[in-house]
A = this chain, B = another copy of it.
Amino acid sequence: MSDPYIPRPEDKFSFGLWTVGNRGRDPFGDVVRDTLPPNDAVALLGEVGAWGVNLHDNDLVPIDATPVDRDRIVKEFGRACERHHIVVPMATVNLFFDPVFRDGAFTANDPRVRSYALQKTMGAMDLGAELGAKTFVLWGGREGAETDAARRADEAVKRLRDAVNYLCEYSIDRQYGYRFALEAKPNEPRGDIYMATTGAYLGFIPTLDHPEMVGVNPEVAHEHMAGLNFLHAVAQAWEAGKLFHIDLNDQYPGRYDQDFRFGSANVKAAFWLVKFLEDVGYSGPRHFDAHAYRTEDYDGVKDFARGCMRTYLILRDRAKRWNADREIQALAAETAAERPTYSTQHRDRLLATTFNRAEIAKKGLAYERLDQLTMEILLGVR
């Protein structure tokens, strides 16, 4: 019998160049793995069965590359992608590594930095478009502060809006057809980051000039850092038609950004997430924004990448079982009810209704049973 947990292209599993290429540097330690050239990263992704690769501009093209070098690098990369049957669904821009961004990019106090950030992003959009990307992610990793003396927080919102509006126009102008996906994070590397949660971006988007072009890119680890329920953020984004991309990984709450293998920290949360994405028919990439432990060599990096996809597929299978389980379905079934629509008649009828609170409150809701059955589905004993 064949292994049911082998990734296939239609699963749309993608990885960032920076994920399998992560060299293990951390605040207290040096790099532990050799540089993985982008083309080798693509080969590695092909080998483990991925479908797509995503990139920041400087994951591929050095920040000071000449136009000639840039074109050669991009061309060779495109060929490597073709050779290994890897697509480039998403591109993004690195607005955080270079010291010029130490006070932010679009929200920096120095207007030259803000201008440079726009310029750099336009270049990254050109690059992504050339490689076929249709989604452009903006993660404002340095858009924040260690002290709120640095700038008024509402001014930061305005600056961010200016930048996104500008970039939307650029995409329209160049006919790139991008959909922007904004990625929130509460803190790290800044003391606080503006737009701390996916919700904050969902509130920001309707204030833009082209809200229809902009959605969100929620990341498991970024909501878990603040101890928030990731599924709830994803569901709100989906319901609003704004789930343009998703970053899968894992993270213990209240800690540094861990970017662990998908499902390895909180597999139950991962289960509800996979179930949701599959149940609603999310058709975008399943992008893993994670990296291997620092204890690993490149064989370990492959184990890591395979593990991300394999766990997703196991959980997808579990979600199907959950949906097919009769006892679960009986417990989960909800009484059909009309949605309340206001009218004076409806109002009067409602105001005249007598509710027997005590009787309603007496009935057990069997959520302990439902959750325990979920655990047993998850653990494979049901």
- Whether the Cβ atoms of A334 and B109 lie closer than 8 Å is yes
Q: Which residues from chain B contact A28 at a C-beta distance below 8 Å?
A: 96-97, 141-142, 188-189
B158 touches A239 (CB 8 A): yes
Do B153 and A295 touch across chains, with their CB atoms under 8 A apart?
Answer: no
Complex alpha-carbon distance, A97 and B369, angstroms = 24
Tell me the complex Cα distance, A195–B228, Å: 10
A212 at the interface (CB under 8 A from B): no
Contact A98/B357 with A154-B238, A375-B263 known, Cβ cut-off 8 Å: yes
The answer on a CB contact under 8 Å between A119 and B351 is yes
Tell me if A163 and B340 are in contact (CB < 8 A): yes
The yes or no answer to A232 lying at the interface (CB within 8 A) is: yes
Q: Is A124 an interface residue (CB 8 A)?
A: no
Instruction: Identify which of residues 281-312 in chain A touch chain B, using a CB-to-CB cut-off of 8 Å.
Output: 292-301, 303-304, 306-307, 310-311
Note all chain B residues with C-beta closer than 8 A to A207: 240
CA separation between A206 and B366, bound complex, in Å? 35
> Is A197 in the interface zone, CB < 8 Å from B?
yes
A252 to B378, CA, bound (A): 18
- The reply to whether the CB of A47 lies closer than 8 angstroms to some CB of chain B is no
A256 touches which of B229, B232, B255, B357 (Cβ 8 Å): B255
Decide: A29 and B368 in contact? CB cutoff 8 A.
Answer: no
Residue A248 at the B interface, CB < 8 A?
no
Binds B, one of A7-15, A130-138, A265-273: A265-273
Which of B101, B194, B205, B375 is in CB contact (< 8 Å) with A232?
B194
CA distance A103 to B347 in the complex (A): 24
In the bound assembly, the distance between CA atoms of A307 and B381 in angstroms comes to 13
Q: For A150, give its contact among B96, B294, B347, B367 (CB under 8 Å).
A: B367
Residue-by-residue, is A355-382 near B (CB-CB < 8 Å gives 1, otherwise 0)? Answer: 1011011111111111110111011110
At the interface with chain B, which of A35-43, A67-75, A165-173? A165-173
Q: Which residues of B contact A244 (CB under 8 A)?
A: none
Q: Report yes or no: A299 in contact with B366, Cβ–Cβ below 8 A.
A: yes
Beyond A5-B381, A102-B295: 20 further Cβ-contacts under 8 Å? Answer: A24-B99, A28-B97, A29-B96, A31-B99, A115-B355, A154-B239, A158-B339, A166-B340, A192-B229, A196-B233, A197-B200, A198-B199, A227-B253, A254-B254, A266-B268, A267-B375, A298-B364, A304-B368, A310-B372, A378-B379
Show 9 A/B contacts (Cβ-Cβ < 8 Å), sorted by A. Answer: A25-B27, A116-B357, A122-B347, A148-B231, A150-B367, A153-B276, A191-B258, A203-B240, A296-B368
